[in-house]
Structure 1
Amino acid sequence: MSTALGSAAVPAVAPLLELRGVTARFGSVAALSRVSLTLRAGEVTCVLGENGSGKSTLVALLSGLQRHDEGELLLDGQAVRFRTPGQARAAGIATVWQDLAVAPVMSVWRNFFLGAEPTRGVWPFRQLDLDAARDTTVREMARIGVTGIDPDAPASALRAGERHSLAIARALHFGARALVVDEPTAPLTVAQHALVLESLVAARGRGLAVVFVTHNPQYAHLVGDHYVLMAHGQVASNLTRDDVDVEDLTRLLAGGDDLRRLTETLRQLHPDLPR
């Protein structure tokens, strides 16, 4: 088996987030059906599957855009039901969306703070602390591997991978406990993909529960601790690095028959595997 990029050093703990038998419907169609999974602090869970497999609905559920109809969503062991994205953010769940939106003409530091700009002085003489805003942006971006940026440059000057890293750095700075990253749809170079992956590793190292939604088994295996393969709104398999290597993941995503056979084989060998 290959070694994960920056292997997680955080020991197994109780789940930060947990789904138990969750079903989410759009009308009569179950976009998610009896989905159960656990998301632990200090681990990266990669969610893989074809279009229509339920990945986007899972992201929407965790981020407060979609409510579940059956089952339970638990945060620190307590059942929750997010009614808005604001409630999910207030609970410490930050989502970096697939089609990342930034204000292109605004500076990098403005995009980093987005209404939470640091100030100095006391009311009524309080004023924006530009030095702190710039320094914080550069420092937090560097902590996740993005260096050499000009905080005063417009966000449009950032590459696609850097823009995603900016959103991740912002989530870390403002105290996120769980990070949900939907793989960017914009074409990225290998170096830009590396920035996004390095950001995920940094988030894991800082103790966040990370969910990485991707279609790329190679990237998933580089950073993942767990792999949730979805099909038709259900968890087709829930695997760890000890169960599969990158070739296994690639083959599983290429054919459902292989997935079913391997899943049954693994369950015979490991009866305690989650279903």
Structure 2
Amino acid sequence: MSLNLNELLWEKLIQIQNTLLLDDTGMGKLLDLSQESFSLMKQRKGALELGQLDVLTNQVGISMNQLFSESLDLNQIRNLYFGNEYTLPRKYDFAKFSKSRTIINCLTYIEMKFGSEFRNTILRELQVDPRFFDSPDRQMNIGVLRDLCSLLAKFGMKEADFINMGKMSYFVNKEEGLGKDLGSHSNVIDLFADICENHSDKFDQNFDYFITKCEKDGISIGSKPTELALDYLDVKEVGSSLTCITKLGVFGSFPHYLNFLRSYAIKTKCMRQGDNIYEYKIFYTS
């Protein structure tokens, strides 16, 4: 096997590993290798035996030619591996008032900051089929975001990281239809009025959002859990303190669509601290 062909093979193997969210133990099993052997081979880009590749191709449902093809269909491999039908874990499969758009933004940040292996580790911990994040409009329980944030905190993520993770909303959406709609406004007040009235449900249907103040140095947005979310979730509080911190990044990034690239948000009211609403003040300067 030539060096170039071997490099191509390992590129494909790592793509398959990432697509299937496999750690080295799981990927090793697909090649009939122990975790130790696979990890060492991956580190060295070692030559694999044809028999090992045959085991892999049989298990993921592709031919040897397809494995080396430039047009390797990773989505098809994923569908064959996970099955055509997929469901959320039961704990996330009710009161589905959250959109996958927010999780996609978070996963994009995680992969950029910490790498694809860490992203895959998080998804394995959540036990959510990765295909739920192929579209920004899939619905799920807010527990996915809550548990994602909790896991990230356990892995050592700091408050600044959660805010930056929220800011990823702008970078993911700015060239999409939603981003172009938000960027069409002439001023920040109209932008937030449109977000609260017409676009908030593209992110989150657990809360109602509304403008509370318009001041010279910024605009304040209030939010309150909907009665429907409280009833279906059967909780007194929706989300967590970490999801609120992530929201600071999301709110702070909205003026970016109008080129206020230094904008940021702070929390001024919190229902967890006895206030009757959550409130976020967004500061923006040109």
TM score, norm. by length of structure 2: 0.28
Q: Which has the higher strand share?
A: 1
Q: Which has the higher helix share?
A: 2
Greater relative contact order, per chain length (Cα 8 Å cut-off, separation 6+): 1
Q: Which has the larger radius of gyration?
A: 2
